[in-house]
Amino acid sequence: MRYLGKISYGLYVYHTGVIWFILKFSNTIDAGAPSLYYFSLVVTILVASLSYFLFEKPINDFKDKFFPLSSHS
């Protein structure tokens, strides 16, 4: 669950596009089929993971290098 929390922004951003892409380019999956939901969940987690490790984490690390959180009040 913690991992899904880490990539939750990517899950939110990419889920609609993944579902659209699967429906657009797959003639074998019906829009109401349960397999669409399972397949899109797996693909969305994969895309969100790639996004997290290739974009989000490096950008956050870069930000933290120049603007670290201060413990001063």
Does residue 73 surpass a pLDDT of 70?
no
Task: Note the pTM of the prediction, 2 decimals.
Answer: 0.79
Q: What pLDDT is recorded for position 48?
A: 97
Q: What pLDDT is recorded for position 71?
A: 59
Contacts 24+ apart (CB under 8 A), 55-63: 56/9, 56/10
Residue 36's nearest CA partner among 52, 18, 11 is: 18
More confident residue, 52 or 67: 52
Q: SS3 of 37, please? A: helix
d(CA 63, CA 52): 15
Amino acid at 59: I
Instruction: State both tokens at 11.
Output: 């899950």
* Tens of pLDDT, residues 5-49: 999 999 999 999 999 999 888 887 777 788 888 999 999 999 999
Q: What are phi and psi of 37, to 5 degrees?
A: -70, -40
